[in-house]
Amino acid sequence: MKKFSLGATALAVVATVGAFAMPAMADDEPLDKVTQGSLMVTRVGGMGAGVVVGTPIAVTKRVLHSYKALTQDAADKVGGKLGGKDNGPVCAVVSIATLPASLVVGGLKGVYYGTKNGVTKGFDAPFAPDSYSLGNLEE
């Protein structure tokens, strides 16, 4: 009787291990749908946070970038013979006109890039630095 129970136990162990070692033949699509559905709340929250926090960051970055670029370009055009962008007084005089222009141009570009990064990157990778416009804005 002991030999029979040892043989049955060994057969049961081999059958169990064999069942676990076999690949799953079931389709994982329903599980994937449930997983993606449960992440929807996190993704929507990441989008909202990305837009709310990332837009002012993008506006600030774009205004500074526009101010620097517009001032250098205008200084080269206006005071090219005096040294252009390398001449401090020329840049100071030109910056009177380029500051308001850079606020408008940089503000509009910043709103665009901040919203775009918040929505697209906030959905794909919620609460990541790129969704807050902390990386490169033009990709």
139 touches 67 (CB < 8 A): no
pLDDT at 27: 59
- Give the whole-angstrom CA distance, residue 42 versus residue 73: 44
Determine the average pLDDT of the residues in 26-42. 75
Determine the average pLDDT of the residues in 120-130. 87
Place of tokens 């500051």: 99
Which residue in 121, 126, 131, 120 sits closest to 36, CA to CA?
126
Tokens describing residue 54: 């990332």
Q: Kindly report, residue by residue over 89-124, the tens digit of the pLDDT.
A: 888 889 999 999 999 999 999 999 999 999 998 888
Which is more confidently placed, 16 or 65?
65
On whether the pTM is more than 0.75, the answer is no
Domain ranges of the chain: 55-133
Cβ-proximal residues to 103 (8 Å cutoff; 6+ apart), any chain: 63
- Give the whole-angstrom CA distance, residue 59 versus residue 115: 10
- Give the whole-angstrom CA distance, residue 37 versus residue 45: 14
Tokens describing residue 76: 């080269």
